[in-house]
Amino acid sequence: MSHRVVFLERNSVKATIRPLTFEHSYTEYESTTADQVVERLADATIAVINKTQLREPVLAQLPKLEMIAVAATGYDCVDVAACRARGIAVANIRNYAVHTVPEHVFALVLALRRNLIAYRQDVENGVWQKSPNFCFFTHSIGDLHGSTLGIIGEGALGQGTARIGRGFGMRVLFADHAPPKADNVEFTPFDQVLAESDVISVHSPLTPATRDLIGLPQLRAMKRSAILINTARGGLVNEAALIQALDEGLIAGAGFDVLTTEPPRDGNPLLDERRPNFILTPHVAWASDDAMQFLADQLMDNVEAWVTGKPQHLVT
């Protein structure tokens, strides 16, 4: 059987896509809008996507579709239940950003704990030049050594973040949650993690159960000196609540790499935050050159494994 493979978002993967070895035809599009999906996948047996939404109304118009290869770990863009009902296999990417995401987490953590943005602004504004001493102390500087790192989500990224934290001499707590749970990870009640952590880093998938996992009550439960990092998914933290928490000084700062809607073409209140204790990056924690190539290779591996009857990384 010859497969028809269509990649809808080639510009989302900045890496070499190696040729598939089975009999097939291949078409790729740099990007695809919602109203182009059905037409472009009309004859496809295998769809390769990243963030394109494939919900039941769209899937119902694609009777030839047999497999969806998601070029990401998160697959909330796919209606998994509808795929299961229609016998469509869905595979995602596993463990490809185990270094780049934790490193990005700590880039944000260090910048916030040491108030690098605020100090840079002071230098740009001439404060150092006017200082009577060789340095000045306009903002607090916090060490990571001896502080507590709370991690929500104990997958590869959460555990990678924990390893770096321990390297800094941090005490690491994993927040307890419903099964499934990783082996050999000691859990601490969620409320205790909120109360005791100096840094909280979120590494959970976005599901109906985890949406708004951290809202105003959880932010109020955190230390006033704590910082919150989200490199996982927008929607895990209530954005309006975060702004209120920063306004009221409920937490000391936050570093985010994700928003609820991406790209934020219609705006987002977090885009307007210009305070030095909030850092927003454009969903690039995952995107180191090495990680991107690993993703591209595994993406093709997932397709070939399914075609040869040895599927891997299936979510349904």
Cα gap 155→310, rounded to integer Å? 24
List the catalytic residue out of 3, 233, 239, 273.
Answer: 233
Active site residue 233: yes
Cα gap 221→218, rounded to integer Å? 5
Q: How confident is the model at residue 120 (pLDDT cuts 50, 70, 90)?
A: very high
- Confidence (pLDDT) at 224: 98
Amino acid present at 298:
Q
Check whether the bond before 263 is cis (ω within 30° of 0): yes
Active site residue 94: no
Q: Which two tokens stand for residue 180?
A: 């499934």
Q: Which two tokens stand for residue 155?
A: 């997958």
- Confidence (pLDDT) at 160: 96
Over residues 38-88, the pLDDT tens digits come to 999 999 999 999 999 999 999 999 999 999 999 998 898 999 999 999 999
CB 306 within 8 A of CB 91: yes
pLDDT reading at 184 higher than 90: no
List the catalytic residue out of 30, 39, 248, 262.
Answer: 262
Domains detected in the chain: 3-96+290-307 (3.40.50.720), 100-280 (3.40.50.720)
- Confidence (pLDDT) at 269: 94
- Confidence (pLDDT) at 190: 97
- Confidence (pLDDT) at 205: 87
Supply the pTM of this predicted model. 0.86
Cα gap 274→276, rounded to integer Å? 7
Active site residue 166: no
Burial label, 21 (beta-carbon count in 10 A; 0-12, 13-18, 19+) = exposed
